[in-house]
Structure 1
Amino acid sequence: MPGIRDMLLFMIGVLIGTTTAANASQVSRETDIVNLRLGERVLVDDGSCPAGQIKEVSGAKLGPAGVIPSRKCISRTGPKR
């Protein structure tokens, strides 16, 4: 019989899995991004960055009209770990 600790660990695992999937979203146009949240990152493959890079749009600041996006080109392979 699973205990509370086992259920809690399972729920944490599910939460981490869904958070990782949300951070890995990619679209082909910046206009396809809807309801960008504070801290959320979306990769945009629209060809506006140099070869080997992709545009990252992130919810950087909270303004009076909502989340203000920040844009930068990052390596397609991601940061080295």
Structure 2
Amino acid sequence: MRATLILAALVLAASTLPSSAQTVSRESDITHIRLGQRILVDDGSCPTGQIKQVTGTTLTPQGISTVKQCVPRRGARPN
């Protein structure tokens, strides 16, 4: 019974998370990032058809460290 309640709470929490990443035009526009959060940066630094993704990965004494990588762009580029 207890395991079922915990599983139900996890499913509910996962379903309330935003399904798409936030998009900014410059990496300097990222002021706060949480662990596991993904922010897309549309600054033109990645090859055609890709966009830079910044992900909060680990907690360090200096704050949250990030990983930057180019990922496939989904959908049309906003004008």
CA root-mean-square deviation: 2.4
Return 5+ residue gaps in structure 1 as ranges: 1-11
Alpha-carbon separation, structure 1, partners of 2:21 and 2:38 = 8
TM-score under structure 2 normalisation? 0.71
The separation in 2 between residues aligned to 1:70 and 1:60, in whole angstroms, is 7
Higher helix fraction: Structure 1 or Structure 2? Answer: 1
Matched, 1:60 2:57: yes
Aligned length: 66
2:40 is aligned with 1:43: yes
Tell me the equivalent position of 1:5.
none
Local SS of the residue matching 2:54: strand
What is the TM-score with the length of structure 1 in the denominator?
A: 0.69
Q: CA deviation at 1:60?
A: 1.0
Distance in structure 2 (CA, Å) of the matches to 1:33 and 1:51: 23
